[in-house]
Amino acid sequence: MLLAVDAGNTNVVFALVDAGEIRARWRIATDPRRTADEYAVWLNQLLGLEGFAMRDVEAVIIATVVPRALHNLEVLSSKYFKVTPMIAGQPPVAWGIELDVSEPASVGADRVVNAIAAHHLYNGDLVVIDFGTATTFDVVDYSGAYKGGIIAPGINLSLDALVSAAAKLPRIAIAAPEDRSVIGRTTEAQMQIGVFWGYVAMIEGLVQRMRAEIGRPVKVISTGGLAVLFDQHTDIFDAIAPDLTIQGLALMHGRI
């Protein structure tokens, strides 16, 4: 049994993978100060609720974009699971794909892992959109090479910035407006239109520009927590892959 760990800026996702099948998944807020002991107590309880035990974990693979969180996850693996963790992008877990960009070392681990999984699951040229702390658009060509992409503020970051900077604006939920009108009649409705439909327009506009630049047919793959919500209000996505990062980690482990 493999424990795949995706440590992002907002959440750390743990997933139990057996022969390529995700058997269970859990998430916890990212906190670089969280100790290995705290992780272990939390995971031990959750594993038990799913009918598993810590001894069932035979390997651990980690992808992280939060360097300060890595040490405690490594200690968790060695102290409580009794295995040396594999770190995505570090020997012996090489990426195995070409990073055809100016600064390959600066590409986030999650984005490369997503590219690996997307190329494995879908044919042809791809744009992978990941709705996380930031919203990232990644181009993977037909050969599996990572060609670059876009980083945009995540919708929650955009809303937080708006509310923080404007004293009289209330905090609203991230949700689709009740109708398709883009002329709001209350402050809350106007904010919701601006945040939600503005974000949909950004997604559609950027994908249109990327398709024009690529110049070949492109599939758009969406992942991340808000992918399903946006999929209900745009036809830009060809597929939703909510576990893309975990699938990529499992694929990388399978190569070892």
Contact, 113 vs 93, CB < 8 A?
no
What's the rounded Cα separation, in Å, for the pair 171 and 99? 40
The reply to whether 110 belongs to the active site is yes
Contact, 169 vs 188, CB < 8 A?
no
Among the listed residues 110, 125, 130, 243, the single catalytic one is 110
Half-sphere exposure for 251 (CA within 13 Å, toward CB): 20
Phi, psi of 65 (to 5 degrees): -110, 10
The beta-carbon contacts of 100-107 under 8 Å, at least 24 apart in sequence, are 100/145, 100/146, 100/147, 100/148, 101/146, 101/147, 101/148, 107/146
* Token pair for 24: 């269970």
> What is the pairing mode between strands 59-64 and 2-7?
parallel
Other CB atoms within 10 A of residue 176 CB:
15
Half-sphere exposure for 242 (CA within 13 Å, toward CB): 11
What's the rounded Cα separation, in Å, for the pair 11 and 173? 19
DSSP assignment of 120-164, as one string?
HHS-SEEEEEEESSEEEEEEE-TTS-EEEEEEEE-HHHHHHHHHH
Tell me the catalytic residues.
110
